[in-house]
Amino acid sequence: MTALDPPHDAPLLVVDALTKSYRLPGGGSLTAADRVSFTVPRGGSVGIVGESGSGKSTVARMLVGLVPPDAGTVTVNGRDRASRPSALSRHRPAARLERAREIQMVFQDPYVSLDPRLTARQCLRTALRLHGHPSTDARTQSLLDQVGLGTREAGARPHQLSGGQRQRLAIARALAVDPQILVLDEAVAALDVSIQAQIFQLLGEIRDETGVALVFVSHDLAVVQHITDETVVMQRGSVVEQGPTERVLGMPQHPYTRLLLASAPHEGWDPADAIRARAAADSAQPVV
């Protein structure tokens, strides 16, 4: 054990008081994330839920370093990610790989992030090479196998794949560097429910096999309910409730969490319940 090794019991990811405001065009500012804090254990699975505009993507982007926080810290294995900014590590492949190995992100629409000219196999080879991995065919093949893409899909370009297959490819590319944490921002939102279920199953298998931790960002409670151990509920940039998913979504304490549950159509659903729940949520204080 060296001085750089984390204490054995340190959480994998500690998010502490992350805050981000955006300047509004007409003057003033909007606090998209207000002192957001949570932890993710090794191999854990945490969901961030909230309606559109509640600040989920802002938090996800701060985790991976795409958005610089105004305040707060993101600590992985006891080390502050901000102390190794990606701009500095660009010229040091080893540092970049180390950083990439901490957290990888999968977005809602892989069309935007996948190069249309590359086949699935080429895409994975490129990712492996970019991160300094020896670009072995064996590693590419094992990634394809891991996400359930066959020979035909391996030779196909993004437009020749279905939405579910494209998302499998995006997941495989994120896994190419053996990350410790995978952040998925609305990663199944554009997929049919049956395809969503396949992706959940896949993510569960990958988590079991590799021990990767998942941070699952979604406006859809059903999604988070299926795949996470812990849930963080965000309303207008603030965390209003957090804890074990079973308790938060099974016995919600905060009116906003109740609103989210009441708004999701289910058996015997009455839209009037959702309208009443909104009135209660709008005037409530956090319970955390």
Binding site for Mg ion (CB under 5 A): 57
∠214-21-182 over CA atoms, to 5°?
A: 10
In the complex, minimum distance from the CB of residue 118 to ligand ADP, in angstroms, rounded to a whole number? 28
Residue 164 interacts with which of ligand ADP, Mg ion, none, CB < 5 to 8 Å by class: none
- Given the complex with Mg ion, which of 153 and 185 has the nearer CB atom? 185
CA distance 160 to 153: 8
Q: Tell me how far CA of residue 276 lies from CA of 79, 255, 263, 279, 283, in angstroms.
A: 45, 10, 10, 5, 12
- Given the complex with Mg ion, which of 57 and 263 has the nearer CB atom? 57
- Given the complex with ligand ADP, which of 57 and 165 has the nearer CB atom? 57
CA distance 113 to 117: 12
Residue 30 interacts with which of ligand ADP, Mg ion, none, CB < 5 to 8 Å by class: ligand ADP
Residue 22 interacts with which of ligand ADP, Mg ion, none, CB < 5 to 8 Å by class: ligand ADP
Residue 108 interacts with which of ligand ADP, Mg ion, none, CB < 5 to 8 Å by class: none
Residue 257 interacts with which of ligand ADP, Mg ion, none, CB < 5 to 8 Å by class: none
Give the binding site for ligand ADP (CB under 6 A): 22, 30, 32, 50, 52-58
In the complex, minimum distance from the CB of residue 231 to ligand ADP, in angstroms, rounded to a whole number? 14
Q: Of 74, 4, 79, 13, whose CA–CA distance to 42 is shortest?
A: 13
Q: Which residues are CB-neighbours of 28 under 8 A, at least 6 positions away? A: none
Sign of CA dihedral 252, 258, 263, 266: positive
- Given the complex with Mg ion, which of 118 and 189 has the nearer CB atom? 189
